Chain A
Amino acid sequence: MNKFLSEKVTSIKPSGIRKFFDIVSEMKDAISLGVGEPDFDTPWHIRDEGIYALERGRTFYTSNAGLKDLREEISNYLKRTQNVSYDANSEILITVGGSEAIDIGLRAVINPGDEVIIPQPSYVSYEPCAVLTGAKPVIINLKAENDFRLKPEELLDAITEKTKVLILPYPNNPTGAIMEREDLEKIAQIIREKDILVMSDEIYAALTYKEKHVSITELEGMKERTILINGFSKAYAMTGWRLGYACGPKEIIQQMTKIHQYAIMCAPTTSQYAAVEALKHGDADVETMRQAYNQRRRFLLNAFREMNLECFEPYGAFYVFPSIKEFNMTSEEFATRFLREEKVAVVPGTAFGDCGEGYLRISYAYSIENLKIAIQRLKNFVEKLRNE
Chain B
Amino acid sequence: MREELLAIIEKNSRIDFSELAVLLGAKEEEVLKEITALEKEGIICGYHTLINWEKTSIEKVTALIEVKVTPQRGQGFDKMAERIYNYPEVRDVYLISGGYDLLVTLEEKTLKEIAGFVSDKLSTLDSVLSTATHFILKKYKDHGTILNEKNHDEREVITP
Q: Which residues of A contact B (CB under 8 A)?
A: 15, 17, 20-21, 24-25, 30, 32, 34-37, 39, 123-125, 173, 239, 291, 294-295, 298-299, 302, 345, 347, 351, 368
Contact = CB atoms under 8 A, between A and B. Distances in A.
B4 A15 contact: no
Given A39-B155, A298-B23, A124 B7 contact: no
B23 A24 contact: no
Interface in B118-160: 153, 155-160
Given A35-B158, A368-B23, 20 more contacts: A17-B160, A20-B158, A24-B157, A32-B157, A34-B157, A35-B155, A35-B156, A36-B159, A36-B160, A37-B155, A39-B153, A39-B155, A124-B160, A294-B25, A295-B24, A298-B22, A298-B23, A302-B22, A345-B157, A351-B160
B157 A35 contact: yes
Given A291-B7, A295-B8, A123 B160 contact: yes
A345 B156 CA distance: 12
Contacts of B158: 17, 20-21, 24, 32, 34-35, 345, 347
A368 B19 CA distance: 11
Interface of B: 4, 7-8, 19, 22-25, 153, 155-160
Contacts of A34: 157-159
A21 B4 contact: no
Contacts, number: 52
A37 B159 contact: yes
27 contacts: A15-B160, A17-B158, A20-B158, A21-B157, A21-B158, A24-B157, A25-B157, A34-B158, A34-B159, A35-B155, A35-B158, A35-B159, A36-B160, A37-B155, A37-B159, A39-B153, A39-B155, A123-B160, A173-B160, A291-B4, A291-B7, A295-B8, A295-B23, A298-B22, A302-B22, A345-B157, A345-B158
Residue with the highest number of chain A CB atoms closer than 10 Å, among B24, B25, B157: B157
